[in-house]
Structure 1
Amino acid sequence: MEETDYIIIGAGSAGCTLANRLTEDSRHHVTLLEAGGSDRRFFVQMPLGYGKLFYDPGVNWLYSAEPDPGLNHQRDHIPRGRILGGSSSINAMVWMRGHQADYEEWGRDNPGWGWDEVLKAYREIEDNEAGGDAWRGKGGPLFISKNRKGLHWLVEDYIKACAEAGLPYNPDFNGESQEGAGTYQLTVKGGRRNSAARAFLRPAMRRKNLRVETGAQVTRVLIEEGRATGVEYLQNGQRKTLRARAEVILCGGAINSPQLLQLSGIGDGALLQEMGLQTLVDNPNVGAHLSDHHGINYTWQMKVPTYNNILRPWFGKALMGMWYLALGGGPLAKSINHGGGFFRTRPALERPNMQLYMQAFSTLIPKAGERPLLTPDPFPGLSLGLSNCRPTSRGHIRIASPDPLAHPKITPNAFSTPEDVEEMLLAVKFLRKIAAQPSFARWVEEELRPGPDVQSDEALIDDFRWRSGTVYHPSCTARMGASAETSVIDAKLRVHGVQGLRVADASSFPNLIAGNTNAPAIMLGWKAGEIILTESK
């Protein structure tokens, strides 16, 4: 029977980072099991190609949520990376740490996870193009583009309009203050996506003490006498067993990790009994506390050209393709979210509760089975979007079958609290306030979505229930905390009630941070490595 020291399950944002850190010590032999395949695909490497990956079963788990009353009983599409790099290989590449107060809340019940500790980790991780300072890192393994060049000229007028609406310019959302409008830093390097696989895993794969297995879907963690001793997995139609001399670490993400815990007998005892599974650890927190950001776009037809005019016609595609292939530049070399920001829906709030996205681009006309970033609308369109930073609504992840290949039930419960509905209502009104400012309004032909007829509070709420959806940041489903009464893992990422088993990914978050979740997932993998290396000395 095969053995290794550490088994990492999932080569996503956290898993790739953890594999890199653990193998820095040549004493540790690490096996990384990834259900998906290689990230060496053109549309993975080309930044704007992520639109092609949105419904691609070759790189994507293609999850679907349960019908959600908060979204007028619609089923939301939930893409997650099934590929080396995980969701960092299919995401929109925005590098956002979150607000300092988010981590102060993390550290309150979880020693070692306060702001000072995570800031240290971020500065070690980063090689920020904007340079190192008290907030940013320089010289780390992950290059971060400051994203100041090659932007659509309407970004500048968007930032001016935000200032006219009372939201001033912020040059760095990862700096001293998060609030304001500006441009997003991106995980893009040399015109290519800088995923966790590229930045962390590829360098580590040159080490002799790391073995990476693709097409290897773990079906169960083996637990003997209260200790995780290995895993069972499927690869090329064969069932295999791998033993861990030291530990098993789940890095499957907010959906896969709680699913695998439940399949392994760790979870709500009533659910496991219903599924015919033996309960080894009865903990209803496994799969509970699902938190996610939900957002919506407002769209305008513009009087001036946007990226629609460049990327819609065949000759525009050809020209932009040649620019990208020859020089690594142009709109194909970036995420579509050039501009953004953070704001408060009420002045009395201590910190921003909404995130903005500016896209000189629109995709109102759908294309079946694709997110048409490379085939936008046939008119000059522009979208301003937003998402809630700290929703109070909570959902859950539950296995629907003892079959490990069956997708779990995902119940987001979006907008299920009055607080979430009220703040989203105030937020969409602020989008219109931005659009009404002179620097923006002078370029607007008409509002297309939701349209000028949608004015009353009731109509605005109904509109965002119909048109909102996840912005792909599920978290907290195996969350960190002091005890099994409220959480799944402790501050060392160890599963309550089981030895030799940890969870290190977005499911581990004690609460959802304000912003995109790729950065904190990478940071969590980095600190997981630090914890394990320290304990193994």
Structure 2
Amino acid sequence: MDAPQPTSIGQFDYIVVGAGTAGCVLANRLSADPNARVLLLEAGGSDNRLWVHIPVGYLYTMGDRRLDWCFKTEPEPGLNGRALDYPRGKVLGGCSSINGMIYMRGQAADYDGWRQMGNAGWGWDDVLPYFIKSEHHYGAADDYHGVSGELRVEQQRLHWPVLDAVREAAAELGIPPVDDFNRGDNEGAGYFAVNQRRGLRWNARKAFLDPVRHRRNLRIETGAEVERITLADGHATGIEFGRAGRRLRADVTREVVLASGAIGTPKLLELSGIGPGEVLSQHGIAVKHELPGVGENLQDHLQIRTVFGITGARTLNDMTAGWSGKLRVAAEYALRRSGPMAMAPSQLGIFTRSSSAYASANIEYHVQPLSLEAFGQPLHREPALTVSVCNLRPESRGSCHIGSASPGDAPQIRPNYLSTEADRIVAADSIRHARKLMATRRLSGYRPIELKPGPTVTSDDQLARAAGDIATTIFHPVGTARMGQDAMAVVSPELAVHGIRRLSIADASVMPTIPSGNTNAAVTMIAEKAADFIRARSRA
């Protein structure tokens, strides 16, 4: 017996799939035209949960199936056979509701590189106005920052003396102090700017969706798990989705816009018959449109979490070891929206070069006054610093493909970390660099003791293997539907899917290479540009 046909919920000018960072921006910008009917679909539900909004709650949002897809990678050879938890937001606001809140654009050279790869309109001078457009910066407006946008960018509401000391230690190594990482060259040491407002997380739902919820031409559906894009005569006609046990359909007159991220977007394309024919055929899916680049080119930042025990300074470990400490921390936050509960997961950043071979900063530190085995697990009791280092521009490339034809099954995520010799060298040099930092005269008074990976690990091979033992994702997957004009590109520089009319993509999957820093700000920028491209096509 044939499955019943899905029930129609109506016809829309634009259907946006995914209400994460990009989806919220798109819903805002596209619904600004009162004559355009916009449907925004989100598989998750409301972000109205305590730990979403209290910044330190990131420790508890990841791994919560009400907020997180709770993906896992396949066992990774470069990580000595380990499989990693791979958090992705499944909630209004998407990853901006569970991420580290760090506002980071990357380097001007990243975007100039995109343009040089044949993506006209994506150089630093092209994208900077879009970063500025969205931004509500804590400082004055200038050539690099805006103050009239919706996305709050604030200074952190706490400082740690031990992190100030680490910043001063970086200066001993020739790394200058900086106050702003977002002016095109992020080399230096300083505190990260964060997407917060007065000590609360400022996610994409608050920034972009709440101000426009009243618009009659915008419909928001949560709990809507999109199963496939419907196609006819070489163009997208709509989508089918499930909600509360029912199969539903929405039809489109202008464009379906995918904003499901570097994991969700290639999965939906493949379920719809768009992607590498070999993958689709393997799972019994008819090939509607061959696009071999779908799901390929996965890139991510792998953070090597070195840990150093210290003395003579307070860290979150010992501050919250007992109930009295926990109560003091909670009271400070309740009274002043400050203190450890207001902190982003990483407070101090350092951008520098792992060796003289690099023309610009190629590694990023996230220094944290805490230590734990993994996110979601208890803090250690003794005072310690986690001195994470990540390779900003890894050469390793992985993939993300469906594992079955069932929409409810998780995709197979293979980042392929540390699969190139260059990446293994950077990993070894990163651990050595962290040791140099912690061995500076400025930090000697804290008597740092290396706990991970341990001081006996010294050779290149030992260090690369140790990196595989202690490293984890820093949650920045990109590139699985990259823009370009070659055979492996999935979208054009205008973000239209090659070979399929009325279908576009606006999320981290379109990035041809990963930016040199945290990725959420870049996703916001991409969505801003996408909205302009989409509106221009509708007028053509």
TM-score range, shorter chain: over 0.9
Show the counterpart of 1:360.
369
The residue aligned with 1:120 is: 129
**Secondary structure of 2:242's match?**
strand
Question: Residue deviations 1:197-218, cap 9 Å, x none?
Answer: 1101111212111111000000
Identify which of 374, 388, 392 aligns with 2:391. Answer: 388
Structure 1 residue ranges (4+ consecutive) displaced by more than 3 angstroms after TM superposition: none
Aligned residue number for residue 4 of structure 2: none
Cα distance per residue 1:374-426 (max 9 Å; x no partner): x4211111111111111111000111100011001111110000010011111
The equivalences for 1:303-382 within 5 A come to: 303-304=311-312, 305-364=314-373, 371-372=376-377, 375-382=378-385
2:510 is matched with 508
Question: What amino acid does structure 2 have at the position aligned with 1:54?
Answer: M
Following TM superposition, by how much is the alpha carbon of 1:456 offset from its aligned partner in structure 2, in angstroms?
Answer: 2.6
Deviation at 1:494, TM superposition (A): 0.6
Residues paired across the two proteins, number: 529
Determine the structure 2 residue equivalent to 1:429. 432
1:448 to 2:451 alignment: yes
| In structure 1, C-alpha distance between the alignment counterparts of 2:160 and 2:355, rounded to whole Å | 31
- Bigger mean CA deviation after superposition, 297-306 or 62-71: 297-306
2:109 alignment partner, one of 101, 104, 110: 101
Q: Choose 110-119 or 494-503, whichever is displaced more.
A: 110-119
Give the aligned partner of residue 5 of structure 2.
none
* 1:180 equivalent in alignment to 2:180: no
Aligned equivalent of 1:87: 95
Residue of structure 1 in register with 2:494 after alignment = 492
The one-letter code sitting in structure 2 at the alignment partner of 1:438 is R
Secondary structure, aligned partner of 1:447: strand
3-state SS of 1:340 partner: strand
Deviations 1:170-208 (A, max 9, x none): 211102521111110100111111111110111121211
Q: Would the alpha carbon gap of residues 203 and 468 (structure 1) be closer, same or farther in structure 2, given more than 3 Å must change?
A: same
- 1:238: how far off? 0.5
Equivalent in 252, 257, 263 of residue 249 of structure 1: 257
CA distance in 2, matches of 1:312, 1:281: 56
Quote how far apart the aligned CAs of 1:455 are. 2.3
Aligned match for 2:82, one of 70, 74, 79: 74
The corresponding residue for 1:420 is: 423
Aligned residue type for 2:512: P
Amino acid paired to 1:419? A
Structure 1 residue 235 and structure 2 residue 243: aligned? Answer: yes
Amino-acid identity (%): 38
- SS of 1:57's equivalent in the other structure is coil
Q: Deviations over 1:474-526 (max 9, x none)?
A: 0000000014x020000111110100000110001121111111011111111
Q: Does residue 40 of structure 2 align to residue 32 of structure 1?
A: yes
Relative to the length of structure 1, the TM-score reads 0.96
Is the 1:489–1:502 Cα contact (8 Å) retained in structure 2? yes
Asked whether the equivalents of residues 198 and 337 of structure 2 are also in contact (C-alpha less than 8 Å), the reply is yes
Distance 1:186 1:306 in 2: 20
Deviations 1:76-133, CA, capped at 9 Å, x for gaps: 1100000000011000111100110010011221122111111010111111103222
Displacement of 1:445 after TM fit? Answer: 4.4
Query: Which residue number corresponds to residue 293 of structure 1?
Result: 301
SS of the counterpart of 1:382? strand
Are 1:128 and 1:146, in contact at CA under 8 Å, matched by a contact in 2?
no
Cα deviation digits, residues 292-343 of structure 1 (max 9, x gap): 1111111111112212122222122122112222321211112031101211
Aligned to 2:129, the other structure's residue is in SS state: helix
Measured in 2, the distance between the counterparts of 1:59 and 1:47 equals: 15
1:426–1:262 CA distance, 2 compared to 1 (3 A): same
Instruction: Kindly indicate whether the alpha-carbon contact (under 8 Å) linking 1:130 and 1:146 is maintained by their aligned counterparts in 2.
Output: no
Query: 1:216-240: CA deviations, max 9, x gaps?
Result: 0000000011110100000001100
Q: Distance in 2 between matches of 1:293 and 1:276?
A: 33
User: 2: distance between equivalents of 1:134 and 1:225?
Assistant: 46
**1:54–1:79 contact (8 Å) kept in structure 2:** yes
- Cα pair 1:60 1:81 within 8 Å, conserved: yes
1:155 touches 1:339 (CA, 8 Å); kept in 2?
Answer: yes
Deviation at 1:161, TM superposition (A): 0.3
Instruction: Give the alignment's Cα RMSD to 1 decimal.
Output: 1.2
Residue 469 of structure 2 is aligned to residue 466 of structure 1: yes
CA contact (8 A) 2:40 2:218 kept: yes
Q: Which residue of 1 aligns with 2:3?
A: none
Aligned amino acid, residue 24 of structure 1: A
Contact 1:188 1:334 (8 Å CA) reproduced: no
Residue identity matched to 1:387: C
Q: Does 1:411 align with 2:414?
A: yes
CA distance in 1, matches of 2:98, 2:39: 23
Residue 5 (structure 1) shift: 1.1
SS in 2 for 1:442: helix
- Partner-residue secondary structure (3-state), 1:244: strand
Tell me the TM-score normalized by structure 2. 0.96
Structure 1 residue 44 and structure 2 residue 49: aligned?
Answer: no
> For residues 424 and 220 of structure 1, do their structure 2 counterparts lie closer, same or farther at Cα, with a shift above 3 Å needed?
same
In structure 2, stretches of 5+ residues that fail to align are: 1-7
1:535 positional shift:
2.9
Query: Cα deviations across residues 227-260 of structure 1 (Å, max 9, x unaligned)?
Result: 1010000000110011011110000000000000
| Contact 2:392–2:517 (Cα < 8 Å) also in 1 | yes
1:121 match: secondary structure: helix
Alignment pair present for 1:527 and 2:515: no
- Could you tell me which of 137, 149, 158 is aligned with 2:166? 158
* Alignment partners' CA distance in 2, 1:128 and 1:424: 34
Could you say what secondary structure the match of 2:298 adopts? coil
Unpaired runs of at least 5, structure 1? none
In structure 1, distance between residues paired with 2:322 and 2:379: 9
Contact 2:254 2:538 in 1 (8 A): no
Deviation at 1:12, TM superposition (A): 0.7
> Which segment is superposed worse, 317-326 or 224-233?
317-326
